A and B are shown apart, each in its own frame.
Chain A
Amino acid sequence: MSGIRIEGLSKSYGANQVLDGLDLTVAAGECFTLLGPSSCGKTVLMRLLAGFETPDAGRIVIDDTVVAAADVNVPTDRRGIGMVFQDYAVWPHMSVRDNVVYPLKLAGLPADERAERTQAVIELVGLSGLEQRMPSQLSGGQQQRVALARALVSNPALLLLDEPLNNLDANLREEMRFEIRELQQRLGITVIYVTHDQEIALAISDRLAVMDEKGHLRQIGAPNELFDHPTDAYIYRFLGVANFVPLRKVSSGWLLPDGTTAWVGQSPERHGEHLTAGFRPNDIVLSRDGEGLPGIVRRASFLGSQMDYLIDVGGVSLRASTDSRHALSDGQMFRDGEACRIRFHTVQWFDEVLPDGAVKGEFHV
């Protein structure tokens, strides 16, 4: 069991400052996810933890051992880590068993113990019967299981997973993420998982950190904490499809961007001239009449269990989704061009005016 402490970690490549004084603590046995857009420095942080890169400044402590500091650099092979790579990195010239047993061979374990532990971990990841196969005879999912088994076999203090599910198809990705979570809980191992996929991050983490393009950790917390109480619109946007409606304060209340439509429903308990309301597509409740913001359905798409709408309201476009079955039974199935009323289950309030251009794009996802 091991905890990880990162203190003031900095790394730059030429003029490009990737990490700047980053602090992070991960508890022993925790499954911790680093979530961020591509090239935000999360992979660099992972490589620094693994010892593939050397920090410019700061310290990394794994299991009370300083592995990287100004005058310390423990090489990768003595950091006691397991690692799974995005491209599997299964050695193509070795069979499944040879791949998995390799770390134990290096550790100098006796042959019978090696065989026993290899077999156990192969069973654990569900590869029994494929021990003699060569990697070229395995599917992508099976190769990733080999990589996982290889990373787990020597009971590492820390397991690093670098976008391990990226190259798998959607179904397999979903299946594997539950398996990884289950394995992690069963083995009680510390995991640091790097991804840009918020669904995986929310599904498997004890805690997660959202990283921005500048390499800063914007918010750290449990999945539901970040999902329900994001500290800013950046986090909110990153954790799922987000609608943002900028509001302007007038004497009578709050106005939408068209300057005439008034905000109806939950009132913000905040002050200031400008506010932004954020909500998910499924936070929206649609009805034909009654209370709510008036809107026009621009596009209605039937997606099976869900209805997906694009709705014009007060000068902005919103994404809404409703349960198809309810919509059908309640006669709430809207068609293109129909008028509707909009209410909200919940609204997140942000002090910012529209955060940035990138967020604007979310209106039309």
Chain B
Amino acid sequence: MFSKAASRFGTPQILFGLAVGILVVFVAVPVLLIFFNALWVDGHFNVADVIKVLSEPDTYKALVNSLILASGVTITGTIVGTFFAWLVTRTDLPYKGAMKVLFLVPFMLPSFIGALAWKMLLSPRAGYINRFFMETLGFEEPIFNIYSYLGIIGVETMYLFPFVFIQVSGALERMDPTLEESARISGADLFTITRKITIPLVLPSILSGALLIMLYSMAHFGTVAVLGIEAGIYNIPTLIYERIHQSAGSFAAIRTGTVLSAVLVITAAFIIWLQNKVLARGRYQIIAGKSFRPAELKLRGLRIPLLVFCIAYIGFTIVLPTVTIFMVGGLNTYGLPFTLENMTLNNYRYILFEWDLTRDAIWNSVSLGAASALITMFAGVIISYVIVKMKVRGKGLLEFLGMLPFSVPGSVIALGVILAWSGKFGINIYNTVWIILVAYIARYMAFSLKANSAALEQVHDSLVEAARASGATMWQALRDIVIPLVRPGMVAAFFLIFLPALRELTVSVLLYGPTSRTIGVAIYTLNEDGETVYSAAMAGIALIIIVVAEVVVKRFFKVGK
């Protein structure tokens, strides 16, 4: 855009340098340190040692567990998500609109709080449902043990199936109905159409949603930490946590952590690569006008039973755990039956007004969420602007760096910032909120880049050129034209970061110090310490904060999903 000779250090170079700098410092350096520590032993490159670490029984088991859990969740989540998506878009199910909204609710609830609730309901000895069956109905054995692969897969499925649900219902809604109609005119019955036309057309969406579930499940900490550790089931993130926490940063622990992290990053990158491929191949079809209504399958006699099934599913997966959390939070002691004389508001009072850490935790979560959202929002605009709008040399490097945040899971980020910011390079912010902030910026950069580059694609180049021709410098054009026009994208980015940051656990659990607990950490540690009723009360309060924040944001800022 500018001659190399005339302005080697003009505004474009500053913006480019800024963009590269942010990504390098916050994302690339931690990831590089992970790989460096994993591969570099005693001053030289050593792959044999990596294999040795990976073949230790514990690490090997964690790898296998991650694979089993992620595969299980992906399969069940995809089936559940696809089925409900089809039900609310292509059948005459009653109250479809309301159902569609309700199926998205699990997305805004933290899954580790759900896991806590299910632990209270279905742990083999103390779980309320198991006890009801054993004590009241006289069963010999608990009917279900939540501390198991099946239990973990089941709970994760409840919270991750919306990935597939959103993708598939979107595709089914946008699909050009003439594709199906023409098949019908050609004499195909509905079953044949579904098999030969509809499913092949939505397959890319199903696969892309399934890969998202896989990605999240692979890197998922909370549910496995709450339900798996009791039964000795570790996946990669929980083993990293275990090692780092128990050994207080010993060399062996760090090495195991970095090797596992490297595996996680490579797996995640592979899944994302696969997903991009699936999406690119799926792009040719479907999308047509949204104005048509596709043919709805008449459910006839199944209409009411399926509605009941949906309501039961929602009741079982959303209402029951939520009620459980609030009820247990109101018990005098965990394990007592839910009778009036056992109920109290003391736990809530204690958590809200007496326990010092609550105020800390809420303050930390809110301020960390707001600060990281604000910083990441502005950084995301600058980086997206350079990637989408500017013609500068070396943009390929930036595009590569820009992809990085998408494939770095939370526990990897956390370990990476420990390596980078605990004094080795002159700055030590370990055990302070700042290290969590740095990690959040890296963790949520992907969200900001996505929202901002989508908004920037909408701003035509000539709008900026018109400003330049009017006498605006590049900064002035950015300030007066680009920023105001992408403001909706920036607001979206802010809340896309702020809301998940409020309920964050994976990163902060690895990084918290005495004064830097987040809401998630506070709930998690209370539960770890056996303070079940307090952790339930805290979780109840957290749920209220999260839901209120979600509703307020959706209502007043109209941030889309």
Task: Decide yes or no: A76 and B466 within 8 Å by CB, A87-B460, A106-B476 being known contacts.
Answer: no
Residues facing B in A40-55 (CB within 8 A) are 50-54
Task: Decide yes or no: A102 and B6 within 8 Å by CB, A77-B468, A83-B469, A150-B466 being known contacts.
Answer: no
A83, A90, A92: the one within 8 Å of B485 (CB): A92
Residue numbers in A under 8 Å from B466 (CB-CB): 83, 85, 89-91, 147, 150
Using CB atoms, name the residue of chain A closest to B6. A73
Is B5 interfacial (CB-CB < 8 Å)?
Answer: yes
Measured CA separation A14–B463 after assembly (Å): 26
Using CB atoms, name the residue of chain B closest to A51. B468
Measured CA separation A154–B473 after assembly (Å): 16
Using CB atoms, name the residue of chain A closest to B468. A76
Contact B470 A73 (CB under 8 A): no
Task: Decide yes or no: A70 and B5 within 8 Å by CB, A89-B462, A89-B463, A150-B466 being known contacts.
Answer: yes
Measured CA separation A91–B10 after assembly (Å): 25
Q: What total count of A-B pairs have CB within 8 Å?
A: 83
Measured CA separation A160–B462 after assembly (Å): 13
Contact A150 B470 (CB under 8 A): yes
Is B478 interfacial (CB-CB < 8 Å)?
Answer: no
Is B2 interfacial (CB-CB < 8 Å)?
Answer: yes
Chain B min CB distance to A125 (Å) = 16
Measured CA separation A93–B480 after assembly (Å): 10
Chain B min CB distance to A157 (Å) = 12
A73, A85, A89, A91: the one within 8 Å of B2 (CB): A73
Residue numbers in B under 8 Å from A68 (CB-CB): 3
Contact B3 A107 (CB under 8 A): no
Contact A73 B7 (CB under 8 A): yes
Using CB atoms, name the residue of chain B closest to A150. B470
Contact B467 A102 (CB under 8 A): yes
Is A72 interfacial (CB-CB < 8 Å)?
Answer: yes
Is B352 interfacial (CB-CB < 8 Å)?
Answer: no
Is B528 interfacial (CB-CB < 8 Å)?
Answer: no
Measured CA separation A160–B466 after assembly (Å): 11
Using CB atoms, name the residue of chain B closest to A79. B469
Contact with B along A92-115 (1 / 0, CB 8 A): 110000000011001100000000
Residue numbers in A under 8 Å from B480 (CB-CB): 102
A72, A82, A87: the one within 8 Å of B469 (CB): A82
Is B423 interfacial (CB-CB < 8 Å)?
Answer: no
Is B15 interfacial (CB-CB < 8 Å)?
Answer: no
Residue numbers in A under 8 Å from B470 (CB-CB): 77, 82, 102-103, 106, 150-151, 154
Contact B469 A93 (CB under 8 A): no
Is B403 interfacial (CB-CB < 8 Å)?
Answer: no
Measured CA separation A28–B304 after assembly (Å): 81
Is A277 interfacial (CB-CB < 8 Å)?
Answer: no
Contact with B along A65-79 (1 / 0, CB 8 A): 000101111011110
Measured CA separation A78–B6 after assembly (Å): 14
Is B465 interfacial (CB-CB < 8 Å)?
Answer: yes
Residue numbers in B under 8 Å from A81 (CB-CB): 469
Residues facing A in B428-481 (CB within 8 A) are 460, 462-463, 465-474, 476, 480-481
Residues facing A in B7-24 (CB within 8 A) are 7, 10
Contact with A along B474-497 (1 / 0, CB 8 A): 101000110011000000000000
Residue numbers in B under 8 Å from A89 (CB-CB): 460, 462-463, 465-466
Contact B6 A50 (CB under 8 A): no
Residues facing B in A223-269 (CB within 8 A) are none
Contact A87 B481 (CB under 8 A): no
Residues facing B in A149-170 (CB within 8 A) are 150-151, 154, 160
Chain A min CB distance to B417 (Å) = 38
Using CB atoms, name the residue of chain B closest to A151. B469
B6, B460, B467, B471: the one within 8 Å of A71 (CB): B6
Is B185 interfacial (CB-CB < 8 Å)?
Answer: no
Is B280 interfacial (CB-CB < 8 Å)?
Answer: no
Contact A50 B2 (CB under 8 A): no
Task: Decide yes or no: A76 and B476 within 8 Å by CB, A54-B3, A93-B484, A103-B470 being known contacts.
Answer: no
Is B1 interfacial (CB-CB < 8 Å)?
Answer: yes
Using CB atoms, name the residue of chain A closest to B485. A93
Using CB atoms, name the residue of chain B closest to A68. B3
Chain B min CB distance to A153 (Å) = 9
Chain B min CB distance to A353 (Å) = 43
B463, B471, B485: the one within 8 Å of A103 (CB): B471
Chain A min CB distance to B173 (Å) = 27
Contact A77 B472 (CB under 8 A): yes
A50, A54, A90, A107: the one within 8 Å of B471 (CB): A107
Task: Decide yes or no: A85 and B471 within 8 Å by CB, A71-B6, A73-B7, A93-B484 being known contacts.
Answer: no
Measured CA separation A92–B488 after assembly (Å): 14
Contact A75 B465 (CB under 8 A): no
Residue numbers in B under 8 Å from A93 (CB-CB): 484-485
Using CB atoms, name the residue of chain A closest to B464. A89
Contact A106 B469 (CB under 8 A): no
Using CB atoms, name the residue of chain B closest to A153. B470
Residue numbers in B under 8 Å from A147 (CB-CB): 466
Chain A min CB distance to B365 (Å) = 34
Measured CA separation A70–B3 after assembly (Å): 9
A77, A85, A106: the one within 8 Å of B462 (CB): A85
Residue numbers in A under 8 Å from B484 (CB-CB): 93
Task: Decide yes or no: A72 and B6 within 8 Å by CB, A52-B1, A83-B465, A89-B465 being known contacts.
Answer: yes
Measured CA separation A82–B465 after assembly (Å): 11
Measured CA separation A32–B57 after assembly (Å): 80
Measured CA separation A102–B466 after assembly (Å): 11
Contact B465 A87 (CB under 8 A): no
Measured CA separation A89–B476 after assembly (Å): 17
Contact A91 B481 (CB under 8 A): yes
A51, A53, A71: the one within 8 Å of B5 (CB): A71
Residue numbers in A under 8 Å from B6 (CB-CB): 71-73
Contact B472 A54 (CB under 8 A): no
Residue numbers in B under 8 Å from A106 (CB-CB): 470-472, 476
Using CB atoms, name the residue of chain B closest to A108. B471
Contact B473 A77 (CB under 8 A): yes
Residue numbers in B under 8 Å from A107 (CB-CB): 471
Chain A min CB distance to B489 (Å) = 13
Using CB atoms, name the residue of chain A closest to B484. A93
Measured CA separation A154–B462 after assembly (Å): 19
Residue numbers in B under 8 Å from A53 (CB-CB): 1
Measured CA separation A179–B468 after assembly (Å): 25
Using CB atoms, name the residue of chain A closest to B477. A77
Measured CA separation A53–B465 after assembly (Å): 11
Chain A min CB distance to B484 (Å) = 5
Residue numbers in A under 8 Å from B481 (CB-CB): 91
Measured CA separation A89–B498 after assembly (Å): 34
Using CB atoms, name the residue of chain B closest to A77. B471
Using CB atoms, name the residue of chain B closest to A50. B469
Residue numbers in B under 8 Å from A70 (CB-CB): 5
Measured CA separation A188–B209 after assembly (Å): 62
Residue numbers in B under 8 Å from A85 (CB-CB): 462, 465-466
Contact B462 A73 (CB under 8 A): no
Chain A min CB distance to B3 (Å) = 4
Contact B465 A52 (CB under 8 A): yes
Residue numbers in B under 8 Å from A160 (CB-CB): 469
Chain B min CB distance to A121 (Å) = 13
Residue numbers in B under 8 Å from A103 (CB-CB): 470-471
Chain A min CB distance to B89 (Å) = 32
Measured CA separation A53–B467 after assembly (Å): 16
| 30 A–B contacts, CB within 8 A, in A order | A50-B465, A52-B465, A54-B1, A71-B6, A73-B3, A76-B465, A76-B469, A77-B469, A77-B471, A77-B472, A77-B476, A82-B470, A83-B469, A85-B462, A85-B466, A87-B460, A89-B460, A90-B466, A91-B463, A93-B485, A102-B470, A102-B472, A102-B480, A106-B472, A106-B476, A107-B471, A147-B466, A150-B470, A154-B470, A154-B471
Name the 4 nearest CB pairs between A and B, nearest first: A73-B6, A83-B469, A89-B462, A103-B470
Query: Besides A85-B465, A147-B466, 15 other CB < 8 A contacts?
Result: A50-B465, A51-B468, A52-B1, A72-B6, A76-B468, A77-B468, A82-B470, A85-B462, A87-B462, A93-B485, A106-B470, A106-B472, A150-B470, A151-B469, A151-B470
